[in-house]
Amino acid sequence: MTTKKLTLTLSVAAAAVAIAAGSAVAFAAIPGTSTTVNVAAGAGDAHATGDALVAKECVQNTQGLPDPASWRPGARYDLSAQLGFLVIRNDKNAAVCVIENGKAGSVMGGDVSTRHTYTNLTAARPFDYLDSWNEQTESVHFGIATGDVAKVSLVGPDGAQTPTVLTDGTFIAKTKVAEDSNQSTSNQVRATLSNGQVVTGPFRG
């Protein structure tokens, strides 16, 4: 899967996508988030509110998503008041929804990965890369994990760890280290399972 760089028009119109480029050399700390996620209300819930409503509207704004009623919200990261991201998922797939000025846009890139799916996760690799939003000075990375993963950090080339926002088998981290399909893997994942076991491996496996 080619990493995509998102260029936003700050409207609810579909965003343009280009190939991400470049990388930096240091990590930035990820701010905390106070977002409350109702994971019980899926995209098919007519009474959805909060992130469940964002997920529902994102599915409606994206053509061709499989089984539209099955999607529910996962991890959310607000980069600014104008731009945020919500990972949405069902039992098989995950995708990244763009939030513009507090409103749901569409799925980043307009499609769902058939390579990075929950059915491909294993005990040896209980996490996987999903997508990245790369700019010149910062990147936001999105991933998936099995239900027994309790904590995830990205580890940069210098060994510095960046904690992620982890919700319902989806995670998000903001770093200064880009993920680019035209370069070798630069980030590692450190996943701590609910039983305390630690599993590490390359982010782009």
Residue 195: its pLDDT value, please? 97
Could you tell me where the beta strands, DSSP code E, fall in 48-197?
Answer: 72-78, 83-89, 94-100, 103-107, 127-134, 139-145, 149-155, 161-163, 165-167, 170-175, 188-193
| Residue 49 DSSP label | -
What residue type is assigned to position 203 of the chain?
A: F
Q: Report the C-alpha gap between 147 and 91 in whole angstroms.
A: 11
3-state DSSP call for residue 50? helix
- Give me the residue label for tokens 């010149």: 136
Q: Return the sign of the alpha-carbon dihedral for residues 204, 185, 16, 48.
A: positive
Are the C-beta atoms of 170 and 108 separated by less than 8 Å?
A: no
Nearest to 169 by CA among 155, 195, 150: 150
Q: Report the C-alpha gap between 59 and 82 in whole angstroms.
A: 20
Question: Which two three-digit tokens encode residue 57?
Answer: 């509207």
Name, in order, each residue with C-beta under 8 angstroms of 38's C-beta and a sequence gap of 6 or more: 48, 49, 50, 51, 52, 73
Helix %, strand %, coil % for the chain, to 5?
10, 40, 50
| Residue 182 DSSP label | T
Q: Where are the domains of the chain?
A: 4-202
pLDDT tens for the 205 residues of the chain, in order: 444 444 333 333 333 333 333 333 222 333 333 333 333 345 556 566 799 999 999 999 999 899 999 999 999 999 999 999 999 999 999 999 999 999 999 999 888 999 999 999 999 999 999 999 988 888 999 999 999 999 999 998 888 899 999 999 999 999 988 876 556 557 899 999 999 999 999 998 7
Are the C-beta atoms of 144 and 128 separated by less than 8 Å?
A: yes
Question: Which two three-digit tokens encode residue 97?
Answer: 């929804």
| pTM, entire model | 0.77
Are the C-beta atoms of 66 and 93 separated by less than 8 Å?
A: yes
What are phi and psi for residue 131, nearest 5 degrees? Answer: -170, 170
